Structure 1
Amino acid sequence: MKSAKSVWAASSTLAPFLYPSVCTAASKLPLLACRRSLHHQLRAASSTASTVNDLPESRLNPAPDDYSAPSFNDKAELTLYAGRGGNGCVSFLREAFLPDGPPNGGDGGVGGNIYIQAAPGETSLHKVARQRFIRAGRGRHGQGSSKSGTRGEDIIITVPVGTIVREIERHDPVAEEEVSMRAWRLVQKERKKEERERLELEEQARKNGVEEVEEEADLGRNLQPRGPKPQEDEENPDEADPQRQKWLLYPGMTKSEMRSAEFPKLPKRTRFLKQPPAPVYLDLSEITPNPILLATGGIGGLGNTHFTSREHPRPVFATKGEDAVTMKIELELKLLADVGLVGLPNAGKSTLLRAMTNSRTRVGNWAFTTLQPNIGTVVLDKYSGRPVTTAPKRAASASGEVFDPRTRFTIADIPGLIEGAHLDKGLGIAFLRHVERAGVLAFVLDLSARNAVDALKALWREVGLYAEMRDEEERLRGVESNIDWDLAEDAASPGPINLMHLSGTQAKEDELSPKDYISRKPWFVVATKADLPDTQANFKELKAYLDRVTNGEEAHPSGVEGAWAKKCAAIPVSAINGQGVRRIVHWTVGLFDEIA
């Protein structure tokens, strides 16, 4: 009763104008009650049935919006700009009773370098791909009182382990300047030679007293033309001599003094860090404790204090800083997972990953639900009581080293492959590079979709075609490595190298072709949706086929001789119900112990 009176009083007075919150709160009460009831109804409806299928909603059968999609990018192109060196300073000491003191110009700072480092904890290239352009700090100019310029800031590019770095193009001003200097010296050498021949002809004609001196002089003029071009060179020596472009003159000089200025021989400078030869190719398959140099910054210029001599007691010139390298690189990420899941679309790979790990990848009953690779971790021992899965102790190596029991392993789930994926159908086969380095391959087949044997052969066919594409890429990369990219380098200098130290696994991979390397990996088949009716016959046919492959009665599905066919097993599971999943973990751990 009191609330009704208060509302009536508020409406009959100026209360709505003076106290608007009183009336709005009273008017919103029915609307809030309606919203609450609607929210409870929607919540109750969503909790009783799933929106994906008729099964109740659970962690293995979530709603379509119940997933996590972290940012992921496995390719990036970057343009690197190393820092330019700072200019030297032209300065002189000036005091109260010393107006014309000695030179005290400082040197320019060195430009910043660009490094790359594979660090743990990084799983994607999306942070690097957003930048596109990476610029190191340029060196500061030198100052008076012999103050050198500060060094440019270095840049370290942090990438995930498993990243491949390829150089696409490079612009090195120092190398181009060296080439132009060589060309200019050859031209000067030819001019001196022609001038010497002309003088010899004139001297010979003068000694012999021949009357054809004028004709031979004309012949000498034809050998060494005296047209307007040499006059331009004499008037504009800066354009004729490339070395004059590297000098920085005192700003108080007149134009005539600048044109008539004579410079000493340019000192030969050496970089503290040598620029890596082209083309750069890095395989960062391990954590790099120290960053790897990609682009070296320019050298700073010298101040006028370095050029004091008897001929130049007060030098009015200094040198400019060098331009730095510009490089364009391509980054490609190959995930380092222990197990790689390969299968057709909608085969149950994402549900299997949820059942085996704590991953929250997207699950749906439509094809191509997974659009980017996902990684999950299977924990074998949480160090909190008994292990979840008892892993057998790994045998000692040939050197007598005893390994500790495995406590976890990672699984990579990639988008589904369809027949003709090598022709860029579906999502293509580019995602197969994420399982290329996996220790074990798991082919996920849907028993309720089609013949499992045909599906397995189709998957191996696409894997083999991907390996052939890799073979062609490696061949083209080998051809490019034989090209003389740097014209300024000596012919006897070493060619492009891989700056990473190859481990035993990488050396073994380089000895084999990509197709042979993939086919020799241990593999097994996971037969999903085995709880559905009319799938037993399909599984029996698949198991019989794998037994024949193991016994050598049939060829390997890839068609490669010497492929791995020791224990070709098929494990039936129902991932959505979590049945048979633990057997996959036991079987995978056993394969790891065999290949250790």
Structure 2
Amino acid sequence: MASRCSGSHSLFLPFLYPSLFVSRATSASRLATRTIASRRHSSTHVAQEPPSSRLNPAPDDYASPNFADKASLTLYAGPGGHGCISFMRDAYLPDGPPNGGDGGHGGNIYIQAVHGETSLHKLARRRFIRAGRGKTGQGSAKGGQRGEDVIITVPVGTVLRELEREDPVAEEAVLQRALRAKRKAEKRAKREREEELARRELVMTDEEIEEDRLIEEERKAKKPELEDDEPEDPERHKWLLYPGLSKSDLKTIALPKAPRRQRLYHQPPGPIQIDLSRPSPQPILLATGGVGGLGNPHFVSREFPRPIFATKGERAVTMQIELELKLLADVGLVGLPNAGKSTLLRALTNSRTRVGNWAFTTLQPNIGTVVLDNYKGRPVIKSYKRYPAAASSTGSHEEEVRVEQRTRFTVADIPGLIEGAHLDRGLGMEFLRHVERAAVLAFVIDLSAGPAVKALDALWREVGLYAQMREEEERDREVDSRIDWDLASNGDTQRPYGGNMMIADAPETPKEESGLHITAKPWFVVATKADLPETQENFKQLKEYLEKINNGTAPHPSGVEKGTWTENCAVIPVSAIHGQGVDRIVHWTVGLLDE
């Protein structure tokens, strides 16, 4: 006889008799606890590494934050809501007066520069921005709800350029002008034709007159529409008719002249170009929403005592814009590929940017923050920043300066530059614009990669040529915008759809050309890998070259003669991978920022 507890039934023993397996499970759990504890102990031991290891991390030990410095968006302002066709009905008033409400206005689209944003990657993913649609009016004279506005928040330093625009109101105004001109031309041609026929009748015989009459009747028979008939109303599409009307009534119904509406907000003239180089105190209007339609009470008259029509909501503006971010860092690190910029950023800040012993490790700009005062005792360095006050309470013309303690400053690491970077070689032109707005430039030179003086001259040459090219582009763009809105152009400055045209100021007298603005920035040199013994001679030559620039015996490396910074050009030797000499960079940068 087979045993009931054979091998085939041993699978169910832990469920039938759990007490037999308690001791075995307890010992297994103790063993697992010891294993987990040993693993925790080993991982804790590995985490406690010396501080210098953070500057020479493993290839996979880095953080790659989401970053985008360009975004193309299509903006759709909210269209207006339709007006309502409604009549009051009561117990003793079956055919009451009209009481349809007006449609709500569409939402607007604004843009605002704020401090909290650091990238355009969220907007680059969205691609489309839509404001709220105005709600349709209701009975009992209830107006429709207004569409929700949309505020696009961007980082400080964003440049906005309008690429394309579709404005239904402006297009309709152009069509109306063309239609009026066409009607005038038709009336003039008809009058001239009648005068010509009258002159011919004076000299024509009765037979010729009868022949012309027959020809005219044949022409009219072939063309059913008579010339003297009124053309179809071009504004008929604006009307909303009562849904209970038959098809014949829809074609023959008489409509009043469509009212001319004025926008609640004035649409800025195009093309829009905004440089958000400082935080916006209030949002800036980009696209205006459509005006809501009118309910049927607006059209009560002696001719239409019970109007069975209302107006539709106005279509809104559609716009395509391009956003370009220029980082507003206090210090910009400029250097050749694999010069040690990312390692230097790790040594200065708490950044976890990628570090590697190969060129073009950095493929996108990285920003780190140097903390001067962490509010835990005395600050490391006392620094103060000065900027113009927002508004002056007194009536004096002197510009007020506001002083505030500097608790931190930012450092931007851009990808390495190669020869011809200003001509879009390598990754230069894509990220060189981030250097334009840095308050201080720090040129990172690798002392072990060849002559340091030659490397510094090559970097300055690329930066200077790029700045010169950007200045020429801005000058050409400014001239084009002034031509579009010149005061000398013919035509009325009053827009046909309401509001006044915004005319640009007259061009100023050109000033004497000085040095490019980027060459006037304070700058210094950071010489990396200075701990290697074979780099001492190279560092000595670089230091002598900077002393010649300070004394005026050597020209500025960019080649610009006027307006360049040649007062206190210094070189700071560091070993970023060991964290040596980094504190001198912080003190020197704070001194330049305070100036």
Same structural fold, with TM-score higher than 0.5 when normalized by the shorter chain: yes
User: Contact 1:481–1:495 at 8 Å: present in 2 too?
Assistant: no
The equivalent residue for 2:575 is 574
The equivalent residue for 2:447 is 447
How far apart, CA to CA, are the structure 2 residues paired with 1:76 and 1:442?
28
Matched, 1:15 2:13: yes
Query: Aligned letter for 2:543?
Result: K
User: Contact 2:338–2:416 at 8 Å: present in 1 too?
Assistant: yes
Query: Aligned letter for 1:438?
Result: A
Residues 178-577 of structure 1: pairs in structure 2 closer than 5 A: 178-202=173-197, 211=206, 212-214=208-210, 228=223, 230=225, 240-391=232-383, 403-404=403-404, 406-475=406-475, 477-478=477-478, 481=481, 494=501, 516-562=516-562, 563-577=564-578
The gaps in structure 2 that reach 5 residues or longer are: 1-5, 390-397, 486-490, 495-499
Change (3 A) 1:345 1:10: farther
The equivalent residue for 2:75 is 80
Displacement of 1:471 in angstroms is 3.1
User: Contact 2:383–2:594 at 8 Å: present in 1 too?
Assistant: no
How far apart, CA to CA, are the structure 2 residues paired with 1:15 and 1:156?
67
Matched, 1:134 2:129: yes
TM-score (norm 1): 0.83
Matched, 1:589 2:586: no
The equivalent residue for 2:157 is 162
Secondary structure of the residue aligned to 1:118 is strand
Displacement of 1:150 in angstroms is 1.1
The equivalent residue for 1:504 is none
Q: 1:272-325, CA deviations, whole angstroms, 9 ceiling, x for partnerless residues?
A: 101111111111111112111111011111111111111111112211111111
The equivalent residue for 1:502 is none
Change (3 A) 1:272 1:343: same
Secondary structure of the residue aligned to 2:307 is coil
How far apart, CA to CA, are the structure 2 residues paired with 1:547 and 1:229?
93
User: Contact 1:471–1:514 at 8 Å: present in 2 too?
Assistant: no
User: Contact 1:429–1:462 at 8 Å: present in 2 too?
Assistant: no
Change (3 A) 1:227 1:304: farther
How far apart, CA to CA, are the structure 2 residues paired with 1:539 and 1:475?
40
How far apart, CA to CA, are the structure 2 residues paired with 1:119 and 1:539?
42
Secondary structure of the residue aligned to 2:362 is coil
The equivalent residue for 2:395 is none
Change (3 A) 1:115 1:229: farther
Change (3 A) 1:395 1:35: closer
How far apart, CA to CA, are the structure 2 residues paired with 1:458 and 1:11?
83
Change (3 A) 1:363 1:220: same
How far apart, CA to CA, are the structure 1 residues paired with 2:57 and 2:260?
69
Q: 1:12-43, CA deviations, whole angstroms, 9 ceiling, x for partnerless residues?
A: 57325658997899889989988987897798
Change (3 A) 1:69 1:541: same
Displacement of 1:217 in angstroms is 6.0
How far apart, CA to CA, are the structure 1 residues paired with 2:386 and 2:468?
35
Q: 1:384-434, CA deviations, whole angstroms, 9 ceiling, x for partnerless residues?
A: 433312558989999685845543322111111122333443323321211
How far apart, CA to CA, are the structure 1 residues paired with 2:339 and 2:512?
31
User: Contact 2:384–2:404 at 8 Å: present in 1 too?
Assistant: no
Query: Aligned letter for 1:315?
Result: P
How far apart, CA to CA, are the structure 2 residues paired with 1:323 and 1:378?
50
User: Contact 2:220–2:226 at 8 Å: present in 1 too?
Assistant: no
* RMSD (CA atoms): 3.9
The equivalent residue for 1:173 is 168
User: Contact 1:277–1:496 at 8 Å: present in 2 too?
Assistant: no
User: Contact 2:80–2:135 at 8 Å: present in 1 too?
Assistant: yes
User: Contact 2:134–2:145 at 8 Å: present in 1 too?
Assistant: yes
Query: Aligned letter for 2:457?
Result: K
User: Contact 2:445–2:452 at 8 Å: present in 1 too?
Assistant: yes
Secondary structure of the residue aligned to 1:299 is coil
Worse-superposed segment, 266-275 or 181-190: 181-190
User: Contact 1:86–1:110 at 8 Å: present in 2 too?
Assistant: yes
How far apart, CA to CA, are the structure 1 residues paired with 2:171 and 2:154?
31
User: Contact 1:78–1:133 at 8 Å: present in 2 too?
Assistant: yes
Change (3 A) 1:523 1:225: farther
**How many positions carry a matched residue from both structures?**
564
Change (3 A) 1:174 1:405: closer
How far apart, CA to CA, are the structure 1 residues paired with 2:282 and 2:240?
37
How far apart, CA to CA, are the structure 2 residues paired with 1:226 and 1:514?
78
Change (3 A) 1:313 1:458: same
Displacement of 1:213 in angstroms is 3.5
Query: Aligned letter for 1:128?
Result: L
The percent of aligned pairs where both chains have the same amino acid is: 63
Query: Aligned letter for 1:117?
Result: Q
Displacement of 1:241 in angstroms is 2.7
Worse-superposed segment, 416-425 or 329-338: 416-425
Secondary structure of the residue aligned to 1:534 is helix
Displacement of 1:373 in angstroms is 1.5
The gaps in structure 1 that reach 5 residues or longer are: 1-7, 49-54, 499-506
User: Contact 1:337–1:410 at 8 Å: present in 2 too?
Assistant: yes
User: Contact 2:160–2:323 at 8 Å: present in 1 too?
Assistant: yes
Query: Aligned letter for 1:346?
Result: N
Worse-superposed segment, 196-205 or 299-308: 196-205
The equivalent residue for 2:99 is 104
